[in-house]
């Protein structure tokens, strides 16, 4: 049986910078895998390569046995992989509800012809989608803020909203780029509980995370990336207790 997500020999250079070097790993279905490593290790580059935002110089990515090479970002979302961004990239002028709706696929009236010539059909379908989007917001704990413009939400709420937006796509593999960074202690517990809940619902998560406490609490597997290469793979305990990795992670100063 082939792996759920298989990343094989990815290479990517930006000028003289070797962002990814023969990077290979696999991810098992239904697990939370944390991607860790020092700044510049290539964590976000890996995300970009898997989700089609970046074309690698070499290597392949396969999802459930199907290759994703050369597919556009939107095609990859339709295959069932969706991602968040480290800098959120929410639609700040739109409401929280509209942000979630913007992530839902296959809505009638998403082109001009459907919008103009089938207004009743569009409106009827929209009521269903709105109900589903509200349920998604409820799920991440933002139901009360649904009609609020994103710019008026707190940073923690905005982070939850990015998760709601990837959930809206219906994807089963979620790539979350630092979902817990910059959050207060209370909000942190909140988002860790949410990630656990998503796992319970059958989602598979690949999470970039810096906070070792978070990694220890949520990760089933940890991938340690260094200079664009997979350096180690193991349980959180194995990775965190490895002195060689700690040396790389925290730098030679310690």
Closer residue to other proteins in complex, CB, 24/74: 74
Per CB under 8 A, the list member of 12, 83, 145, 226 interacting with other proteins is 83
Distances (CA, A) of 27 to 3, 35, 200, 220: 7, 11, 17, 11
Per CB under 8 A, the list member of 38, 40, 114, 141 interacting with other proteins is 114
Distances (CA, A) of 65 to 7, 15, 26, 110, 141: 11, 32, 12, 31, 35
38 binds other proteins (CB under 8 A): no
Per CB under 8 A, the list member of 29, 55, 58, 89 interacting with other proteins is 89
Per CB under 8 A, the list member of 21, 44, 169, 204 interacting with other proteins is 169
Query: How far apart are CB 101 and other proteins at their closest, in Å?
Result: 6
Q: CB of 221 within 8 A of CB of 34? A: yes
Q: CB of 239 within 8 A of CB of 222? A: yes
Closer residue to other proteins in complex, CB, 37/109: 109
Query: How far apart are CB 116 and other proteins at their closest, in Å?
Result: 5
Q: What are phi and psi of 54, to 5 degrees?
A: -140, 135
Per CB under 8 A, the list member of 2, 72, 152, 235 interacting with other proteins is 72
Closer residue to other proteins in complex, CB, 2/92: 92
**Residues in Cβ contact with 50 at an 8 Å cutoff, skipping those fewer than 6 apart:** 5, 7, 61, 68, 76, 81, 83, 175
DSSP letter assigned to residue 109: T
Q: What are phi and psi of 30, to 5 degrees?
A: 80, 10
Question: Where do contacts with other proteins occur on this chain (CB under 8 A)?
Answer: 51, 53, 72-74, 77-78, 82-83, 85, 89-94, 98, 101-103, 105, 107-112, 114-116, 119, 122-123, 126, 129, 165, 168-169
């Amino acid at each position: 049986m082939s792996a759920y997500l298989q990343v094989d020999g990815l290479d990517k250079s930006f000028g003289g910078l070797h962002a990814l070097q023969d990077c290979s790993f696999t991810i098992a279905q239904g697990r939370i895998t944390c991607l860790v490593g020092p700044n510049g290790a290539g964590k976000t580059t890996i995300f970009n390569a898997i989700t089609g935002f970046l074309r690698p110089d070499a290597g392949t990515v396969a999802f459930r046995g199907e290759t994703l090479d050369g597919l556009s970002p939107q095609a990859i979302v339709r295959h069932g992989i969706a991602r968040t961004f480290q800098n959120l990239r929410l639609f700040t002028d739109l409401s929280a509800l509209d942000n979630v709706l913007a992530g839902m696929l296959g809505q009638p009236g998403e082109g001009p012809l459907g919008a103009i010539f089938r207004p009743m059909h569009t409106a009827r379908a929209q009521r269903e989608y709105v109900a589903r989007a509200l349920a998604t917001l409820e799920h991440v704990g933002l139901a009360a803020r649904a009609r609020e413009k994103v710019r008026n939400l707190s940073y923690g709420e905005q982070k939850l909203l990015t998760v709601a937006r990837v959930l809206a796509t219906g994807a089963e593999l979620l790539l979350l780029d630092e979902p817990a960074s910059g959050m207060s202690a209370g909000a942190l517990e909140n988002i860790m509980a949410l990630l656990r809940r998503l796992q319970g619902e059958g989602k598979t998560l690949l999470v970039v995370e810096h906070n070792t406490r978070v990694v220890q609490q949520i990760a089933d597997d940890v991938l340690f990336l260094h200079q664009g290469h997979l350096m180690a793979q193991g349980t959180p305990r194995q990775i965190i207790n490895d002195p060689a990795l700690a040396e790389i992670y925290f730098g030679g100063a310690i």
